[in-house]
């Protein structure tokens, strides 16, 4: 837990100091999408006794002004006590990659895929740094997403998909209000309601609906994993299985370490043939 708290504390200010963000003045900055985010180890491919501890934070940081908002992907890597900046960051569906810089000099690259071990997400891949190539392993830091953060994602989901948002609410109860007809007034009402009632069925359904459309977010994958451990019939499990299955196809031997629900849904998908992951 101490490592978890420490990395979370250092992440936001360090990420905010990256070149992509330092020029942004008087802007609200907060982590919006988490990619590979945790601690682990790098082991040299040429000498297994040459290893080093890692701490890694890759994220999409949302910049908000009075007039506009955008998300900048950035990151930081600690190799032992040495700190490196990450640029050219790509956050995919259970994948992450970046170019590594020390000051303004490129010194390496990192490319990772994630897998599940029980209810934990593990990242594995290749780190090249200062001429040496390592196998890198990162244990994703679990984050307890606060109600106010969940409500922000719900607000964004209903803003982008008002008709579907209304349908999700009605599928598990009644609509809180009409996001299509009442616009921002309703969005603010939904946000406030879900901040106060994060575990209410409609709020949970809206959060999962958002996550099914954003499997690139590690926090969303964690939330969907929690759902699938209790109910593998939820459509979120099909979305999540499709995401992890792409990584399993690269390294089939890792499949044995995946949880039981994954194998159940994977078999169902294979038997049913090609499917399209819906956002609802």
For the stretch 68-78, what's the b/e string if a residue is b when 16 or more beta carbons lie within 10 angstroms of its beta carbon? eeeebbbbbbb
**Of 70-74, 175-179, 248-252, 261-265, minimum mean pLDDT range:** 70-74
Q: Is the pLDDT of residue 116 over 90?
A: yes
Give the mean pLDDT of the chain.
87
Q: Is the pLDDT of residue 194 over 80?
A: yes
Q: Where are the domains of the chain?
A: 2-140, 147-272
Q: So what's the pLDDT on residue 280?
A: 40
The answer to whether 201 touches 209, Cβ cutoff 8 Å, is: no
Mean pLDDT of 117-133: 94
Q: How far apart are CA 85 and CA 73, in angstroms?
A: 12
Residue from 246, 248, 176, 244 nearest 205 by CA: 176
Q: What is the mean pLDDT of residues 198-222?
A: 94
Say what the pLDDT of residue 144 is. 81
pLDDT average, residue stretch 159-182: 92
Q: How confident is the model at residue 70 (pLDDT cuts 50, 70, 90)?
A: confident
CB 72 within 8 A of CB 21: yes
Q: Is 143 exposed, middle or buried (0-12, 13-18, 19+ CB in 10 A)?
A: middle
pLDDT digits (tens, 9 = 90+) for 222-278: 999 999 999 888 899 999 999 999 999 998 998 988 999 999 999 988 887 654 444
Percent of the chain with pLDDT over 70: 87
pLDDT band of 65, cuts 50, 70, 90 = confident
Confidence check: pLDDT of 6 > 70: no
Rounded Cα–Cα distance for residues 128 and 136 (Å): 9
Residue 273: predicted pLDDT: 65
Residue 157 to residues 28, 205, 226, 234, Cα–Cα distance (Å) = 20, 11, 20, 19
Give the range among 2-16, 76-90, 105-119 with minimum mean pLDDT. Answer: 2-16
| pLDDT on residue 198 | 93
pLDDT-based confidence at residue 26 (cuts at 50, 70, 90): low
Report the pLDDT value the prediction gives residue 9, as an integer from 0 to 100.
Answer: 42
pLDDT band of residue 23 (cuts 50, 70, 90) is low
């Amino acid at each position: 837990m101490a490592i978890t708290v420490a990395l979370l504390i250092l992440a936001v200010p360090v990420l905010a100091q990256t070149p992509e963000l330092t020029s942004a003045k008087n802007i609200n900055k907060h982590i919006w999408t988490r990619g590979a985010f945790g601690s682990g180890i790098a082991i040299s491919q040429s000498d297994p006794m040459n290893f080093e501890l890692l701490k890694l934070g890759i994220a999409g940081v949302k910049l908000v002004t009075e007039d506009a908002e955008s998300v900048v992907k950035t990151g930081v890597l600690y190799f032992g006590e040495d700190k490196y900046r990450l640029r050219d960051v790509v956050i995919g569906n259970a994948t992450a990659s970046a170019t590594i810089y020390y000051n303004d000099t490129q010194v390496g690259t990192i490319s990772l895929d994630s897998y599940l071990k029980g209810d934990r997400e593990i990242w594995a891949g290749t780190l090249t740094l200062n001429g040496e190539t390592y196998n890198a392993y990162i244990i994703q830091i679990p984050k307890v997403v606060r109600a106010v953060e969940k409500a922000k994602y719900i607000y964004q989901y209903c803003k982008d998909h008002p008709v579907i948002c209304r349908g999700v609410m009605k599928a598990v109860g009644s609509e809180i209000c009409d996001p299509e007809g009442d616009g921002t007034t309703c969005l603010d009402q939904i946000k406030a309601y879900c901040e106060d009632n994060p575990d209410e069925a409609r709020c949970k359904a809206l959060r999962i609906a958002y996550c099914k459309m954003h499997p690139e977010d590690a926090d969303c994958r964690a939330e969907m994993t929690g759902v699938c451990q209790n109910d593998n019939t939820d459509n979120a499990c099909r979305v999540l299985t499709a995401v992890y299955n792409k990584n399993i196809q690269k390294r089939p031997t890792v499949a044995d370490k995946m949880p039981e629900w994954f194998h159940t849904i994977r078999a169902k998908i294979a038997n049913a043939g090609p499917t399209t992951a819906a956002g609802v």
